[in-house]
Amino acid sequence: MPESGHTTTRGNTSEAVSGATGTPSGPGTPSGPGTPGGPAESVGPGVAAARRTGLLVTLVLGGLTALPPLSMDMYLPALPEVTGALHAPAATVQLTLTACLAGMALGQLVVGPMSDRWGRRRPLLAGMVVYVLATAVCALAPTAGTLIGFRLLQGLAGAAGIVIARAVVRDLYDGVEMARFFSTLMLISGVAPIVAPLIGGQILRITDWRGVFHVLTGVGVLLTLVVWRFLAETLPPERRHEGGVGQALRTMRGLLADRVFTGYTLTGGLAFAVLFAYISASPFVVQEIYGASPQTFGLLFGLNSVGLVAVGQVNGKLLVGRVSLDKVLGWGLGVILLAASALLLMTSGVFGEVGLAPVAAGLFVLMSAMGLAMPNTNAQALMRTPYAAGSASALLGTTSFLVGAVASPLVGVAGEHTAVPMAVVQLTCAVLALACFLGLCRPWRKAPGTVPTGKAQDPAA
DSSP letters of 102-120? Answer: HHHHHHHHHHHHHHHHH-S
The Cα–Cα gap between 432 and 313 comes to: 26
> Residue 268 pLDDT > 60, yes or no?
yes
What is the arithmetic mean of pLDDT over 358-365? Answer: 94
* Those residues with Cβ within 8 angstroms of residue 21's Cβ, 6 or more apart along the chain or in another chain: 13
Predicted local confidence at residue 350, as pLDDT: 85
Decide: helix, strand or coil at residue 147: helix
Predicted confidence (pLDDT) at residue 105 exceeds the cutoff of 80: yes
Tens of pLDDT, residues 64-92: 988 887 888 787 777 778 888 898 887 68
Query: Is the pLDDT assigned to residue 222 strictly greater than 90?
Result: yes
Nearest to 268 by CA among 158, 381, 349, 392: 381
Identify the CA nearest to 105 among candidates 170, 163, 190.
163
**Alpha carbons 374 and 255: distance in angstroms, whole number:** 19
Least trusted range by pLDDT, from 34-43, 161-170, 200-209: 34-43
Q: How confident is the model at residue 456 (pLDDT cuts 50, 70, 90)?
A: very low
Check if the beta carbon of residue 390 is closer than 8 Å to that of residue 164: yes
Exposure string of 306-337, with b = 16+ CB inside 10 Å and e = fewer, is bbbbebbbebbeebbbeebbbebbbbbbebbb
Q: Would you state the pLDDT for residue 194?
A: 66
Terminal Cα distance for the chain, rounded: 7
**pLDDT bracket for residue 458 (50, 70, 90):** very low
3-state secondary structure (DSSP) of residue 233: coil
Q: What per-residue confidence (pLDDT) applies to 81?
A: 83
Ramachandran angles phi, psi of 151, nearest 5°: -70, -35
Integer Cα distance of 263 and 267 in angstroms:
6
For the ranges 11-25, 404-418, 420-434, the one whose mean pLDDT is highest = 420-434
Integer Cα distance of 37 and 25 in angstroms: 5
Residue 381 pLDDT greater than 50, yes or no: yes
Look up residue 311 and give its DSSP letter. H
Residue 38 pLDDT exceeds 50: no
pTM summary value: 0.69
